[in-house]
Structure 1
Amino acid sequence: MTQKNSDHLRKQPTQERAQATVERIVSASGRVLAGHGYSGCSTNRIADEAGVSKGSIYQYFADKDEILTQLAQTTMNKVMSDVGAAIDVHLGGDLMKLGRCVLEASFDTIELHQPVLQPLLLEAPHIDVIGMTASIRQRAQDIARAYIAMKPGEFRTDLDSEAMIFVLFTTLTATMVSYLTGTTDLSRERITATLTQLAAECLTSPGPAPAG
């Protein structure tokens, strides 16, 4: 279950109008963050962008970090929803095909939200963006375990599944963060192809040796 977006609110909005104000503030913070970065994302700029007074912001949020934490959670809920939908569509088929489709969906959704996610990851590490994805990462790992348990003949006989799942998902997370933050010049296509190849070689049984 994902964390509720209202967890960080200073004052809980109980009326539709108040809730709309909160949503407008959070949405405005995303535009300001994308345009000015974390350091330039002040409550004054957020208030101006949202069309509300600075006092209205402090009715619901103690500071800009509370606003941006809710923005991060709202954004990651959308990311997890997109990835979860891809899992649901392809669940039950071949594990490697499922992995490729979910990988493509993951890149699609993080690229969509990159203007918000990049400055959060680079400039605001105290806002635990990656930690907000714990539920979808746990679901994906549980599915991988289930596939391996149900169809052991399709996987390496020497496979340490727990260690391999940990290593692969840790590698995937770190790779996607590097891609999001622009710390690699590698293209999406090269990254996804290599991740797919890595998973296949690490998990699946090798084919028969070529005839000598």
Structure 2
Amino acid sequence: MARKLLTKPRKTASQERSRATVDALFEATARILVKEGFDKASTNRIAEVAGVSVGSLYQYFPSKEALVAAVIKRHQHKIMHTVRGELAEVLAQPVEKAIRKLVAVAVKSHRVDPRLHRVLAEQIPRVGELEKLETFNRENYTLFRTYLESHRDELRVDDLELASFVCVTSIEALTHNAVLHYSKTFSDETMEALIDEAAYLVTGYLMGSRKNEAGSLSDQRHAGLHSPS
């Protein structure tokens, strides 16, 4: 019979000293995950790198899975702190600007400690956090659908539920792969061009040929950079 994962913390650190211990455990867990991998992240190894006793670790976390789940949660909070204000700006913008902003925000969110982000994304199913991720994704679809609803008259798509899934999933897949797997080969200019092209792709899907006639955003930006003075 499979062992049930214990992924909830035993208690929350309330005093400054205990918070310092938990922070050290978080940092040690993140470091080991990035440099050595999930399988090497035993509770003994985490405690050793954090400079605390295994007993202290078990006061707060029942397993390494609980620690990894907590690190995932902390990382997600960092991302939301980074992008929350920018996402609020999207609601008041026209479709073309809003889509480009969403792509740019997605790139920015993946650039929050990208090496850790990639490792944590791989471990989400292993530590029982998949359901929370799916809930988070559904919230994103709902927010995007609400935005599309307010611009329905400008869109060629009829099924806004499906359109939200297509757009959010496409943006996430493009930015995830670009930042986490190609950041070393993509220059800043290439990344900006990717943002433009992804925005053009999604906008064209939502609004149809009316936008396609103008040419891609990166073509327009490139022409502007090289136009005669």
Q: Same fold (TM over 0.5)?
A: yes
TM range (shorter): 0.7 to 0.9
Note the C-alpha offset of 1:135. Answer: 6.2
- In the alignment, the residues of structure 1 paired with residue 151 and residue 112 of structure 2 have an alpha-carbon distance, to the nearest angstrom, of 35
Q: What's the counterpart of residue 167 of structure 2?
A: 168
Partner secondary structure for residue 92 of structure 1: coil
Q: Which residue of 2 aligns with 1:58?
A: 58
AA partner of residue 79 (structure 1)? I
- Aligned CA distance change for structure 1 residues 129 and 98 (closer, same or farther; 3 Å): farther
Where do 1:98-137 residues align within 5 Å?
A: 98-122=98-122, 125-127=125-127, 132-133=132-133, 137=137
One-letter amino acid of the counterpart of residue 193, structure 1: D
Q: How far apart are 1:67 and its partner, in Å?
A: 0.6
Distance 2:130 2:76 in 1: 9
Q: What is the number of equivalent residue pairs in this alignment?
A: 203
Once the two structures are superposed, residues 158-191 of structure 1 have per-residue CA deviations (whole angstroms, 9 ceiling, x without a partner) of 5322111112222333334444552899844454
| 8 Å contact from structure 1 (residues 33, 41) kept in 2 | yes
Which residue pairs with 2:39 in the alignment?
39
Task: Name the stretch that deviates more: 175-184 or 165-174.
Answer: 175-184
Contact (CA 8 Å) 1:82, 1:106: kept in 2 or not? no
CA distance in 2, matches of 1:85, 1:209: 30
| Equivalent residue for 1:206, pick from 204, 209, 215 | 209
What is the aligned partner in structure 2 of residue 18 from structure 1? Answer: 18
CA contact (8 A) 1:73 1:129 kept: no
Of residues 201-210 and 167-176 in structure 1, the stretch that sits farther from structure 2 once superposed is: 201-210
Residue deviations 1:44-73 (CA, integer Å, cap 9, x gap): 332222221121111111121111110001
Judged with a 3 Å threshold, the aligned counterparts in structure 2 of structure 1 residues 209 and 193 are, in CA distance, closer, same or farther, namely closer
* Aligned-partner residue type, residue 20 of structure 1: A
8-17 or 186-195, larger mean C-alpha shift: 186-195
RMSD of aligned residue pairs (Cα, Å): 3.1
Deviations 1:9-47 (A, max 9, x none): 123334332233112211221122222222222323322
Q: What is the identity percentage for the equivalent residue pairs of Structure 1 and Structure 2?
A: 25
In the other structure, the counterpart of 1:4 is none
**In the alignment, residue 119 of structure 1 is paired with which amino acid?**
V
Instruction: Write the letter of the residue equivalent to 1:200.
Output: T
- Displacement of 1:203 after TM fit? 0.7
TM value normalised by structure 1 = 0.78
Long gaps (5+) in structure 2: 1-6, 214-229
C-alpha separation between the residues in 2 aligned to 1:66 and 1:192? 36
Aligned partner (choices 189, 192, 196) of residue 193 of structure 1: 196
Cα distance per residue 1:118-173 (max 9 Å; x no partner): 222335632366654556644543443333333333211x5322111112222333
**Are the aligned partners of 1:118 and 1:180 in contact in 2 as well (CA < 8 Å)?**
no
Give the gaps of 5 or more residues in structure 1.
1-6
- Identify the residue that residue 3 of structure 1 maps to in structure 2: none
Runs of 4+ in 1 over 6 A off after TM superposition: 183-186
When residues 84 and 130 of structure 1 are mapped into structure 2, their CA distance, relative to the original with a 3 A threshold, is farther
